[in-house]
Chain A
Amino acid sequence: MIGSIAAVVSAWVLGTLLVAALWPTSRRLRDDMALVASLGWGFGLGLTSATWFFLSRLGSSAVAAELVLELVVTGGLLIAVRKRHFQRHETDGTPSTEGIARWIYTSLLAQAALVASIVVFRVHAAAPHGAWDAWAIWNMRARFIFRGGTSWTELLEFPQVAWSHLDYPLLVSASIARGWSLVGTENTTIPALVSVGFGIACVFLLVALVARLRGALAACLSGLMLLSTPFFITFSAQQHADIPLACFILTTVGLLTLAPNARDGWQLHALAGFAAGLAAWTKNEGLLFVAVLLLAVTILRRGRVISPQAVAFAGGLALAAIPVAMFKVFHAPANDIVSATLAERWALLLDYSRHATILATLGRDLLGFGEWRLAPYWPMAVLSLAFGVRRHADGGSLVVIVTLGMLLGYCAVYLVTPWELQAHLDTSLVRLILHLWPTALLGWCLYTAWGPGAIATPIFIVTRSKRQIGGTLIALNLALALATLTALGGQLAPHELAARARWGADVRVTLGDGWFQRESHGSDTWVWSRGESVLHVEVARPPAEAALTFSMRAIVPQTVTVSLGDEVLWRGVVPEYFIHVRLPAVPLATTPGSISFRSDTLGRRESAESNARELTFAVYNVKLR
């Protein structure tokens, strides 16, 4: 675990130093450290994945070569950073209402981050190898790179694995393979760290960018909007490449937005170009992003494309494009969408039924892609109304053109797709919209006129001392965190019916054989039996004894016997209406017990449908006393 973390963190440190070395000297680096560090994740993993793409062909000396290269580069960057940013500045130690407000905003974000972290951990624990695309594409190719030795490039040219989209770029796969190679073994930790790391970087980057451009309140709200997007949180743990692409799109647009405000603009343009190239190294949609970005920049600069900043941008883009070009030219087959007979499908561009299908699905998915209980669009609109909308915003036009351009590009691809249109839309559009969501939030913040002092600080906060306020906030945060952890800790896993963790005891009732899937509605949880079924009582830290209580009902009246080994705990007629059952207290030791339920009646079909279940009796709301 520690080795895996070190392997990934070393790339992050390298990336952070790269960004710091190129950061404009017009601002104190310490003031922008959060921004630099969050940029460092993408740049670090992008750069090291590219070096591993080349060095992995060296066989047994690849790891040593990679380590030496990274150490040399890291050392050089460290020297460069110290030289460029060694300045002393006076610090402002006066507490202010703005500082207090920042503490409140930080508290809100921290609480949201805590909940998001718990969800991410649960998603990863349920599927350590990730979701479909993870094991069918990204992690599978990482295995080919890691296990294939020096000939891994030939393995990826076998047509028998063409279904794995062999033309997809290799940033994620090469990053994972690099991590495995550095620690010497495969594990599920490194793919998870890469995936979740990009999610965390995206959130931190958005908050830091908006804080720099629009202040703390806007930063807090943009971070909350992103952290409370369920699809973004769950997808961060599923080890796809969509979140990394979203991170690079935000990085590129964010850096170009910062650039007009910095005296040293060419460095930020170089980093932006590099980030755009890394987007192309992440997914094929990144190539579309580069094309749209170049168009956007050309439009916004009104044709004035020759400038030091433009040259720097092109230089950064060209550098990051090297591994992309090498991969596409020498290793990748043609893309399945592009390589199918385009000539026959140009006519589809004029098929208005396809336009209608795409627009209808786009409208549906724009409203619901985030899987929100309550969509945030209304509060975002009200906030813009309350604070005012800017007619002109630095970087805002770029966000609008990039977002709309990408959506248009996606629609064009769907128009000519060789696959069944609705199926293609249903399986991919929400992820494409997710690519643009963090950047769209940036655009929302840019166009809203937040302004300093936009929220009145309640008088009672102003009159308290910094220590009192800080102490109150810490206590409040700890209490909230404890309440959150307690509430979430009491949730049951899918195979559990009851749990009691109290006074050092930990007992759980889990489903054994003979049950259908657990069901729930509101506060009720139940499970139907096939006729003979078992509940396991798993004891981690035993209490002296425990009693089970539950309700039962049957599809037709029947006699049910509940026993623990040879001892009959309960026998009775279970009717079609609910009856309450309390089993006698059973002594529990460290070995788990199995409580068997047996009906004297065969199952009865629940309906006339062909796939109807044959049900006997159900157990409701099991409780441990």
Chain B
Amino acid sequence: MRRLVFFRLAAVCVAVAIAAVNLSDLCFRVPPAASSAHNSDLALAAEARFAGLARKLAELQLTGAIGYIQDDPRGNDATPRRYLAQYTLAPVILDSNNPSAPWLLLDFKDGAARETEFEGYSVRWTSGDGVLLLQRHPSP
């Protein structure tokens, strides 16, 4: 009987020790977060990148869908960039299948002004680092 009690005690201690090992390992695998200046979180970066545009869209009272164009729609990061742009700019809907929409959002990584490629549009707002809002000229 005594042997059984000590076996049970040992089993409990081993279980507690393994739990402690797993928790310690977890702590070393999850370091403290980087400061805001060094944080590479995608969502934070997207919020900062599109913050000015979000204010402009609210000022223009734009609703519904606007066209959304990336410089590299087949790139590895194209999908998360599109999803994050939508997350940041909701409730405006981003339509990546309508390059001739009345309003276009250009999301370019290289920051170069690309509005000359879009004939019939004029720039209504730019962030200066690759985010541009274009409006189609009214038809004559």
Contact = CB atoms under 8 A, between A and B. Distances in A.
B86 A140 contact: yes
A135 B30 contact: no
Nearest to A454: B8
A309 interface: no
A511 B37 CA distance: 11
Contacts of B5: 455-456
Given A128-B41, A379-B18, A119 B30 contact: yes
Given A129-B41, A373-B25, A455-B8, A494 B31 contact: yes
Nearest to B41: A127
A495 B38 contact: yes
A228 interface: yes
A373 B21 contact: yes
B15 A155 contact: no
B99 interface: no
A376 B83 contact: no
B121 to A, nearest CB: 20
B90 interface: yes
A118 B27 contact: yes
A230 B25 contact: yes
B91 interface: yes
B38 A493 contact: yes
Given A228-B19, A374-B21, A510-B38, A488 B47 contact: no
Contacts of A224: 15-16, 19
A417 to B, nearest CB: 19
A122 B33 contact: yes
A160 B90 contact: no
Interface string B82-110: 01101100110111110000000000000
A596 to B, nearest CB: 18
Contacts of A132: 80, 83
A126 B91 CA distance: 26
Interface string B22-36: 111111111111110
Interface residues of B, number: 48
B9 interface: yes
Nearest to A114: B23
Contacts of B80: 132
A161 B19 contact: no
A143 interface: yes
B39 interface: yes
A347 interface: no
Contacts of B90: 140, 143-144, 147-148, 155
Interface in A375-401: 376, 379-380, 382-383, 385-387
Given A126-B39, A374-B21, A492-B31, A135 B11 contact: no
Contacts of A385: 11
A233 interface: yes
A221 interface: yes
Contact of A160 (B38, B84, B91, B93): B93
Given A136-B83, A221-B12, A155 B19 contact: no
A493 B12 CA distance: 35
B44 interface: yes
B15 A163 contact: no
Contacts of A144: 90-91
A128 B45 CA distance: 11
Nearest to A510: B38
Contact of B83 (A163, A230, A456): A163
A100 to B, nearest CB: 15
Interface string A220-235: 0100110111100110
A160 B101 CA distance: 13
Contacts of A282: none
6 contacts: A115-B24, A155-B91, A380-B15, A454-B8, A455-B12, A491-B27
Interface of A: 108, 112, 115-116, 118-119, 122-123, 125-130, 132, 135-136, 139-140, 143-144, 147-148, 152, 155, 158, 160-161, 163-164, 217, 221, 224-225, 227-230, 233-234, 372-374, 376, 379-380, 382-383, 385-387, 454-456, 488, 491-496, 510-511
